[in-house]
Amino acid sequence: MSSNAAPLEEADTHHLTSPEGDDTCQFLSFVVDGRPYGVRIQDVREIRQWMRTTSLPNQPPHNLGVLNLRGSIVSIQDLRIRLGAPAPAPDDTNVIVIVQTDGRRVGLLVDAVSDILTLQRADIQPVPPNRGGGDERAMLTSIIMSGEVMVGIVDLDRVMDPGLSE
């Protein structure tokens, strides 16, 4: 009966998100201005090439406008600006990572997508305080070490927050 099905499904999705048990997690890593960053793989919906957007009035510079994503309208954020990197006009080489949290969908403009990283939970570290101030730290939830390389994990809640309305 249907009532038996629910817990099973739950177990299944759990299994999918962490294939090697509870202690690992996966990240999609990408490049912004030569540095690697990442987001949790379960937040990623799809990846697509840059295409021209429809710009919105009265938006902060990191809002690149909206796109039609199979019938729903999705706003595109320039992650390069959010992370404090230089942001030349996007072109065909740029990539949009579509992420979804809390039922909301947003596209993040990055330079290129690089890899899927599987890590032990223990490898995730907090972001050290940034004494200079600066925006970058505020946009990251944590950092991870992938081999020799440090990857900053993007705080999607912050990035997706459209900010005050006026």
Partner 1 sequence: MDQDEDYKDLFFTECDELLAELQDHLTLMSSGEHGRDIVDATFRAVHSVKGGAAAFGLDALTGFAHRFEAVMDACRAGRLDVDDTTLPILFRASDMMQELVEHSRSDAPLRDDVLQQITRSLDGLVGMDPEPSAVVAADTTGQTPPAAGGEPIVVTFRPEPNFLASAHDPLRMLRGASRIGLMEVRVTGDLPPLEDLDPMVCPWTWHLTFALAEPSVLRDFFSIYDLSARIDGVPTADAPATLPLRTSQASEGPRVPTTGGGTGGGYVKSLRVPLDRIDRLVNLVGEIVITQAAVAQVLSQPRHGVEDTLAHSIEALSRQVREMQDSVMAIRAQPIKSAFSRMPRIVRDLSATLKREVRIEVSGEETEVDTSVIEELIEPLTHMIRNAMDHGIEPPDERLAAGKARDGLLRLTAQHRGERVLITLEDDGRGLNRDKIVDVALQRGLIPSADGLTAEDIDNLIFLPGFSTASEVSNVSGRGVGMDVVRRKIQALGGRCLIHSTPGQGTRFQVALPLTLAVLEGMIVEVGQERYVVPLSTVIEAVQLRDGNVERLHNGQILVARRGEYLPVYSLADLFGSREQTSARGEMAIVVDTETDGQIALFVDALIGQRQVVLKGLEENYRAIAGVSGATILGDGRVALILDIPSLIERRKLMFKHQSKHRQETA
**Residues in contact with partner 1 by the rule CB under 8 A:** 2-3, 6, 52-59, 65-68, 71-75, 104-106, 162, 165-166
Query: Least Å distance between CB 91 and partner 1?
Result: 16
Minimal distance, residue 75 CB to partner 1, in Å? 4
Question: Would you say 65 or 134 has its CB closer to partner 1?
Answer: 65
CB 79 within 8 A of CB 90: no
- Report the nearest approach of partner 1 to the CB of residue 6 (Å): 6
137: tokens are 């730290």
Q: Which residues of 54-83 are buried (b: 16+ CB within 10 A; e: fewer)?
A: eeeeeeeebbbebbebeeeebbbbbbbbbb
Nearest residue (CB) to partner 1, 106 versus 154: 106
We find the least distance from the C-beta atom of residue 17 to partner 1, in angstroms, to be: 21
- Separation CA 123–CA 11 (nearest Å): 25
Task: Please provide the distance, in angstroms rounded to a whole number, between the alpha carbons at the two ends of the chain.
Answer: 51
Is the Cβ of residue 21 or residue 58 nearer to partner 1 in the bound state? 58
